[in-house]
Amino acid sequence: MRKHAMKLALMMIGIMFFISCKSPEARRPVTQKSGSYINESIKRNKEIVAAQEDLIQQIIEADSSNNYISSPNGFWYYYNKKDTLAGPTPQFGDEVVFNYDLRTLDGQVIYSKDELQSRTYVMDKEKLFSGLREGLKLMQEGETVTFLFPSHKAYGYYGDKKKIGSDVPVISTVTLNKITTENNNQNK
């Protein structure tokens, strides 16, 4: 009888070992959500962008004194001071020194040039909101350009957590004071 109990015990251990070796099964979520929240968010964001672009178009149509250019990057701009000679524009890794301000679409100052002071920036290697980063790449040394940025090209949904709220389009007048090419930066 003892041999029979021993065989039974070994058989049970073997069965338990065999059962425990099966591959793990993926756990299913307790609740499943449809894509409705994401779809609503996409729809809301498209409406915000369309409304902001309409406001910018109204500003452009009302301003006959400036020649606005539509950027393929999703913003508009005009030259306050343009260099008529073809000079270099900043490239990846170049260091630029510039001044800028930030205003609402109705012209109220958010940050003045004095508040923001002169800024040194290494192209595409430091943080800077996307519209300004792309706008600087269009400029030559000594030029001043006014940019109209929809919020998704400025500070977006989060704002700057100081003076710029959620989904605020901005106007920025930028002066590019100096470009130091990356090759010159490495020789310092």
pLDDT band of residue 30 (cuts 50, 70, 90) is low
C-alpha distances out from residue 184 to 95, 114, 141, 181, Å: 9, 29, 15, 5
Q: Please report the pLDDT score of residue 162 as a whole number.
A: 93
- Distance from the Cα of residue 20 to its chain's centroid: 49
For 167: left if phi > 0, alpha if psi spans -120 to 50, otherwise beta; the answer is left
Strands (E), 42-181: 69-70, 76-81, 95-100, 102-103, 109-111, 119-122, 144-149, 170-180
Element spanning 123, H or E: none
Residue from 114, 133, 131, 115 nearest 123 by CA: 133
For 74: left if phi > 0, alpha if psi spans -120 to 50, otherwise beta; the answer is left
Q: Please report the pLDDT score of residue 5 as a whole number.
A: 72
Buried b (16+ CB within 10 A) or exposed e, 8-36: eeeeeeeeeeeeeeeeeeeeeeeeeeeee
Residue with tokens 């030259």: 79
| Tens-place pLDDT, residues 120-160 | 999 999 999 999 999 999 999 999 999 999 999 999 999 99
Q: Are 169 and 149 in contact (CB under 8 A)?
A: yes
Task: Enumerate domains of the chain plus CATH numbers.
Answer: 67-186 (3.10.50.40)
| Tens-place pLDDT, residues 51-103 | 999 999 999 999 999 999 999 999 999 999 998 788 899 999 999 999 999 99
